[in-house]
Amino acid sequence: MEELDKRVDLYLQMIDPSLVGPASEQELAAFAALRELGVIVARPMLLAIHEIEAPPQAVEELLRLIVHRIVTGYLGTGAVERRLSGAARSIARDRNWLKVMSSLEDLNPARDDFERQLGSRPLNKIELGFVLRSVPMSDITPRQHEYQYVHAIRPRVAPDWPGFPDEDLTRWGSTAGNAVLAS
């Protein structure tokens, strides 16, 4: 508890990035992104990265790994959570974030797998909106736009929608293809 108490200001910023505290602008942007995505499993790693005063790219690489896992697989599995908590412990112990991130490389999908999954894997509206902002901005911490929404190409519960059968909605409705078709 003493160790956590020393970091309470930073931890509170992870929960609410608008609070004043020790986090850098890059860390706050990552905290906001993770909050939007509903990801809390990365907090121990973020604490460890901050503690060793790693460069901003450490936070970006962690966030990129998390977003890639969200798009291509499942982030919240027990095995992934154990790996991330073990990574946090290693960063704190060895004070070497690069070595630890390299050890997590097997969790990061290949680019072609990421692109394929992004085009076909269903995502929830928050995840899809995040990715659809991130890609054109070329930024892993895209700013939220107050009026930006993911528009559905057709309502989910609309029987006999002309020219758009349920099978097509199942395939495209929760994917990046939805945004392309809606645009």
Instruction: Please compute the mean of the pLDDT values over residues 72-94 and round it to a whole number.
Output: 90
Q: What is the pLDDT of residue 132?
A: 80
| DSSP labels, 127-167 | HHHHHHHHHHHT-SSPPP-TT-----SS-TT-TT-TT--HH
pLDDT the model gives residue 76: 73
Q: Computed over its alpha carbons, how large is the radius of gyration of the chain?
A: 18
Q: How confident is the model at residue 99 (pLDDT cuts 50, 70, 90)?
A: very high
The pLDDT, as a whole number, for residue 53 is: 93
Higher-pLDDT residue of 136, 16: 16
| % of the chain residues with pLDDT over 70 | 87
Percentage of residues in the chain having pLDDT higher than 90 = 49
Average pLDDT over residues 174-182: 66
Name the average pLDDT for the chain: 85
- Using one digit for the tens of pLDDT, what is the confidence trace for 112-124? 998 888 888 888 8
How confident is the model over 15-49, as pLDDT tens digits? 999 999 999 999 999 999 999 999 999 999 999 99
pTM of structure: 0.82
What ranges in 1-158 are assigned the alpha helix state H?
A: 2-6, 8-15, 25-37, 43-51, 56-72, 78-94, 97-103, 111-120, 125-137
User: What's the whole-number mean pLDDT along residues 95-118?
Assistant: 91
